[in-house]
Amino acid sequence: MWIYEKKLQYPVNIKKKDLQMAKFMLTQYGGPDGELSAALRYLTQRYTMPTGKSKALLTDIGTEELAHVEIIATMVYQLIRDATPEELKEAGLGGYYAQHDNALYWNDANGVPWTAAYVQSQGDPVADLHEDLAAEQKARATYERLIHLTDDPDVIDPLRFLRQREVIHFQRFGEALNDVQFHLASPKYY
């Protein structure tokens, strides 16, 4: 169904350890408006979309969001690579270390674990697409705030890429909403 290339959608090569930034970035890994939530939301909602075009769009964007999970995971891993337990503790990641060592785990920047309650799926295509538009805007805003929290160009560059993808997804969901509303308003002949 998919072709998997063993490379990231966008390259990540962070050279400096920054545990505080890693902690902040966890919000896009396991937070309510993060990439995992988006991927699962779209891949779930696609089943109740009324047109092939809207189903395909949700499949494509949902799959791309999984690639974004991989980018964020790589960024977090590179930001904490070789961190000592003491450094993690000083960065407010002591509890994280106690439970997960340097492994990645889906939680937000405040340590709240990911939950399926973050994924909205109403079965109403108009409601779901509005949810998706809002999700993309929240993710875009989060990426902008993350960019403001660092001056490291190796971190900023992939964050800008991810932010721009949120903008493109928002535009595509707007087009899908128009398409779905047109489809639902069209007279049906039997």
pTM score above 0.75: yes
Residue 103 has pLDDT above 70, yes or no: yes
Between 3.40.50.10860, 1.10.260.40, 1.20.1260.10, 3.40.50.12780, what CATH number should domain 19-111+121-185 receive? 1.20.1260.10
- Kindly report, residue by residue over 76-86, the tens digit of the pLDDT: 999 999 999 99
Residue 122: pLDDT band (50, 70, 90) is very high
All structural domains of the chain with their residue ranges: 19-111+121-185
DSSP notation for 85-135: HHHHHHTT-HHHHHHHTTS---B-TTSPBP-GGG----S-HHHHHHHHHHH
Just list the catalytic residues: 35, 65, 68, 136, 166, 169
Tell me the average pLDDT across 4-18: 92
**If you average pLDDT over every residue of the chain, what do you get?**
95
Per-residue pLDDT, 1 = 64
- Tell me the mean pLDDT in the region 55-66: 97
Q: Give the CA dihedral 57, 176, 45, 181, nearest 10 degrees.
A: -150
| Structure token pair of residue 142 | 């989060």
CA distance 35 to 29: 6
Percentage of residues in the chain having pLDDT higher than 70: 98
